[in-house]
Amino acid sequence: MGYDLLETRLGYAFRDGELLKEALTHTTYVNEHRDPGVQDNQRLEFLGDSIVNAVITFRLFAQFPDEREGALTKKRAELINEGALSKIARHISLGDHLLLGRGEEMDQGRDKPSILADAYEALVGAVFIDSSYETVSSIVSGHFDEVFGPMEKISITDYKSLLLEVCQSRYKCLPRIVVVDEIGPEHDKEFVVNVELEGGVVGQGRGRNKKQAAQTACKEALRLLNYPLS
């Protein structure tokens, strides 16, 4: 399978095609192909995660010289999360080129946000190894600009990602986000979610689905932790 179309959408042509193939190889594919020459993309994902973080952190730092740490952290959390990275992956049609196991293929793995986000990070790691930090920085910045537009217009909607980053920074631990109740009949159910931190409940939210309830709970937790949201 050729990768010319992916490289065109990515904005980079690989010198080492094996690196690109590794970045596209999911663990389920490796598990079904016991070939010692086939490597999954987890190591590249580990590397790419740090590179994406560094690129966007520096851009925010340079672009908003008057912003305090809290505001910069909010913007970064809105940009670097599973949902945002999976949008970029879809923008470059990354899912079409992934190597997946049969089960994951049947389970619509090519469009799963978690798989797409991880694969994008792996792809970034591969570009870095194949070229330079300057090259990969330009490519990543271009992707974010194409998908999200000017950084000045970033508004916070992903309270869960922000809360995780704030808790890791402040408390060196992550909160537990737990569904504690389901209210109402199946056709009109409401979910109740608690945010637990260091043994106590710091936020609660309700919603028509678990994701909505979790976002509401995380927003409430940020307020109770005196994190500025305005």
Q: What is the pLDDT of residue 230?
A: 56
Q: Which domains does the chain have, with CATH numbers?
A: 4-152 (1.10.1520.10), 159-224 (3.30.160.20)
The catalytically annotated residue of 22, 49, 104, 158 is: 49
Average pLDDT over residues 26-33: 90
Tens of pLDDT, residues 100-119: 999 898 988 899 999 999 99
Residue 70 pLDDT grade (very low, low, confident, very high; cuts 50, 70, 90): confident
Average pLDDT over residues 153-161: 78
Cα–Cα distances in angstroms (integers) from residue 118 to residues 24, 84, 109, 155, in the given order: 10, 11, 12, 24
Name the more confident of 158 and 208: 208
Residues 6+ apart with CB under 8 A from 132: none
Spatial contact of 115 and 26, defined as CB atoms under 8 Å apart: yes
Burial label for 93, CB within 10 Å (0-12, 13-18, 19+), is middle
3-class DSSP state for residue 229? coil
Residue 37 pLDDT grade (very low, low, confident, very high; cuts 50, 70, 90): confident
Rounded to the nearest 10°, the torsion over CA 111, 115, 116, 120 is: -160
Is pLDDT at 1 greater than 60 in this prediction? no
For the question of residue 118 being annotated catalytic, the response is no
Nearest CA to 160 out of 212, 89, 103 is that of: 212
Cα–Cα distances in angstroms (integers) from residue 167 to residues 120, 179, 200, 227, in the given order: 25, 19, 14, 11
Q: What is the pLDDT of residue 219?
A: 92
The catalytically annotated residue of 78, 118, 121, 130 is: 121
Q: What is the pLDDT of residue 187?
A: 80
Tens of pLDDT, residues 187-219: 888 999 999 999 999 999 999 899 899 999 999
Q: What is the pLDDT of residue 100?
A: 95
For the question of residue 78 being annotated catalytic, the response is no
